[in-house]
Amino acid sequence: MQQVKNGDKVKVHYHGRLTSGETFDSSEGREPLEFEVGSGMVIKGFDDGVTGMKVGEKKTVNIPAENAYGEKNPEMIIDYPKTQFPEDIQLQVGTPLVMSNASGQQFQVKIAEVKDDVVILDANHPLAGEELIFDLELVEIIGAKPLIIMP
């Protein structure tokens, strides 16, 4: 029976949770996730987890932070002046916000702390620093990308 290898396009059902047991994402009730293994479409630990699986196989993989969304980067913690926020905004810890950088690129941040003069914003990925646990079920191997061989 065919096993998943780098370059294969696959369909996978998954249930992702934190070590606390809290679910952060799942394909339940949706179409399975379709991606090309090794292409960078999913985190490295997810790619590694499906490699070698056979259609119909189920398994659970633990993915350390460095193979998921990385460790929290202290440079992504931003002190932002309170005066720069609109007056009508509720500044509460955990509130997600969208900011723009100098080139107009948007990115999500969340309020980590509110002080007298500044608001501490965290621009790290919400799952940075977390070990992730995925229950995987390989639904289909669609096949590898065709190779072009020059004569």
Q: What is the pLDDT along the chain (151 residues), one digit of tens a residue?
A: 789 999 999 999 999 999 999 999 999 999 999 999 999 999 999 999 999 999 999 999 999 999 999 999 999 999 999 999 888 888 999 999 998 888 888 889 999 999 999 999 999 999 999 999 999 999 999 965 555 666 6
Task: Output the pLDDT for position 36.
Answer: 95
Residue 144 pairs in a beta bridge with 8
Task: State whether residue 83 is helix, strand or coil.
Answer: helix
**Residue closest to 120 by CA, chosen among 98, 100, 91:** 91
Portions of the chain given CATH number 2.40.10.330:
74-122
Portions of the chain given CATH number 3.10.50.40:
8-70+127-143
Q: What is the CATH number of domain 74-122?
A: 2.40.10.330
User: Exposure of 141 by Cβ count < 10 A (0-12 exposed, 13-18 middle, 19+ buried)?
Assistant: buried
Is CATH 1.10.10.10 the right assignment for the domain spanning 8-70+127-143?
no
Residue 72 near residue 124 (C-beta atoms within 8 A): yes
